[in-house]
Amino acid sequence: MPFGSTPDSRPSSVVVLGADTVLAALPATPVQLAHACRALGYDVAFPASWGDEVVAAACLERLHEFGEGPAILCSCPLVAERLTRAGEELAPFMLNLAAPPVAAARYLRAIYGERPVRITYAGSCPSASDASIDARVSPEELLLAFEERGIVPAAQPEYFESVLPPDRRRYESLPGGAPSEDRLREVDAGRRLAELSCAEDQIALEIAQRLVAYEHELIDVAPCLRCACSGARGDDETSVAARGRLTALEPPRARAPVLDPSIHVDVSLPALAEPAGSPRYAVARPWTRARRWHAAAADSPPAPTSHGASHGASHGASHGDAGGDAAISPSPARRHAPIIVRRTAGRGPALARHDGAVIPRACAARLRRARPASHLVPRGDSGFPAPSGTIADGARRPRRITRPVIIPLSSELPRVVPPPPARPHADIDDPEIGAVAGDL
C-alpha cells in the first residue's frame, strides 16, 4: 500500500472507482484509469471490489440466521426500497447490509486509522450520501474532468512502476457484493446463489415462487434492478451481463483473502424483523401462532364451552394473558334474520321476513347489515329474554305493524322524448343586431 507516498501533514486524497466508472472509461483498462486519477490529483485509486469483499464476508457470517430457508441479499438501496414498497412482509427473509461503496469507505478509514484521509467515490450508487464518504462524482463528471485537464486515460501506462497498487483480485465476492458460488458452498453447504434475471415488474412473482418453494438458496435481486455496483448502467442492460464484462477486466481470482482479516468492519443494517430461521421468529410473528392453533383445531374435535368460558378466553387473548396459543379462539359467526324473496303474479319480487311479514325493498340493505338478533332482543332483570311485546322494565311496547309495500313493474316500454324545439335566432341583417355585432 502506498501510504508513505504522501506526508502525514496533509490529508490523503483517495478515490474509490465504482464498477460503472470502470465500464464507462473503456477502452481504457482499470490500471490506466488509476493512472489517470493520479494525474488528476488523487494519491491512491482503490477498486470498489474491496467493498464487495467486505459485504460478501458479512453475508457469509450471517447466513446461519436463516436456517435451511431462503435469504434475500439486500446490499443495495434499490433492492431494499423495492422489496419494502408494498409492506414489510419480506422483512424476515431480507439480509440487510451496507452498500459496497460504504463498506469500502469504512474499511479505508479503519486502515488509515488516525491519519487524515479524504475519500471520494466515483460512481452512481445512491448510497454515497453516507457519512463515511466525503465527496462523490458521477462517471460522466470524472471523464469530463479528464477532458478539461487534457488527460487521456487510454494513453496512460498499463502497469505500475514506482508504487505498489491496491490488489484488485477477488476472493469471496462477485460485483455487487454477492458471495461467489465456491465460497457459498464452503461456508454454507447446500446453499446456492440464485441471480434473478427477470423484468422489474416480475420481481414480486419470482420472489413469491421461490419463497413458497422454500429452497436452500441466497436470492440476489440486484441484477433485475440494474444495480450500479454490479456494473449495470442506465440502459436496459442488466447487471448479469455486466458482471461478466467486469470479471473479464479483473485479474484471476485469489486463493486467499485479499483484505486484512484482522480488521473488522461493521456493515450490518438494522433488521426490520426477526430472520426467518431464528428461534424467535415464530414468537415475533403473531400469524404463526394463529396458524398453529388452526392446525391443532383441525386435528382435535371441538370441545363444548359455555358462554362465560368463551368470553373469558377471548378476553384473555385480547389482553395478552399468559395462555399462549390456548388463549386464541375463533370469533363466532354473526347470524342475521333471514330475508325471503317472494314473487307474485303480475308484480315484482316482494321481500319478506322469516315470519311472513312483507318489508319495503328500501329496508333490505339495512336489514342485511343489522346487528345480531341477540343484541336486539330486550332482556329482563334475570338476564333472560323478555316476553315479546314488552320492554325490560315490564311495560308494554306498542306493536309495530309493517304494511306491504310492493312496487309493480310496468310492462310498457319507455317512450322516446323528442328534443325541445330550437329557439329562433335573430337575422344578422337586422340593423340593430348588425350594429351590436360590429361593435364587438
How would you write the pLDDT of the chain (440 residues) with one tens digit per residue?
A: 444 344 445 678 999 999 999 999 999 999 999 999 999 999 999 999 999 999 999 999 999 999 889 999 999 999 999 998 878 888 899 999 999 999 999 999 999 998 999 999 999 999 888 999 999 999 999 999 999 999 999 999 998 877 788 999 999 999 999 999 999 999 998 899 998 888 888 888 899 899 998 989 999 998 888 888 988 765 545 556 778 888 889 999 999 999 998 999 999 988 777 887 776 665 545 444 334 434 444 444 444 444 444 444 444 444 444 444 443 344 444 444 444 444 444 444 555 555 666 655 555 555 445 444 444 444 444 444 444 444 444 555 555 555 554 545 545 555 545 555 555 555 544 444 444 444 44
Residue identified by cell 462524482 is 137
Q: Is 2 exposed, middle or buried (0-12, 13-18, 19+ CB in 10 A)?
A: middle
Where are the domains positioned within the chain?
3-249
pLDDT in tens, 19-51: 999 999 999 999 999 999 999 999 999 999 999
Within 214-340, where are the H helices?
239-249, 281-284, 286-299, 307-318
DSSP secondary structure code for residue 210 in this structure? H
Residue identified by cell 332483570 is 381
185 to 30, 179, 278, 303: CA distances (angstroms): 30, 10, 21, 51
Interatomic CA distance for residues 328 and 200, integer angstroms: 40
To which H or E segment does residue 81 belong? helix 77-83
Q: 185 φ, ψ to 5°?
A: -70, -30
| DSSP code string of 333-393 | PP----EEEEE-TTS-EEEEETTS-EE-GGGHHHHHTPPPHHHHS-B-TTSSBPPTTB-TT
Q: State in Å, rounded, how far the first CA of the chain is from the last one.
A: 86
Interatomic CA distance for residues 268 and 275, integer angstroms: 13
> Residue 251: left if φ>0, alpha if ψ -120 to 50, beta else—which one?
beta
**Contact indicator for 177, 52 with CB cutoff of 8 Å:** yes
256 to 100, 106, 123, 131, 261: CA distances (angstroms): 20, 22, 28, 31, 10
Picking from 111, 129, 110, 109, the residue whose alpha carbon sits closest to that of residue 119 is 109
Picking from 259, 195, 267, the residue whose alpha carbon sits closest to that of residue 227 is 195
pLDDT in tens, 152-184: 999 999 988 777 889 999 999 999 999 999 999
Using DSSP bridges, classify how beta strands 339-343 and 349-353 pair: parallel, antiparallel or unpaired. Answer: antiparallel
Q: For the CA atoms of 306, 379, 384, 389, what is the dihedral angle to 10 degrees?
A: -140
Q: Is 106 helix (H, G, I), strand (E, B) or coil?
A: helix
Its pTM stands at 0.63
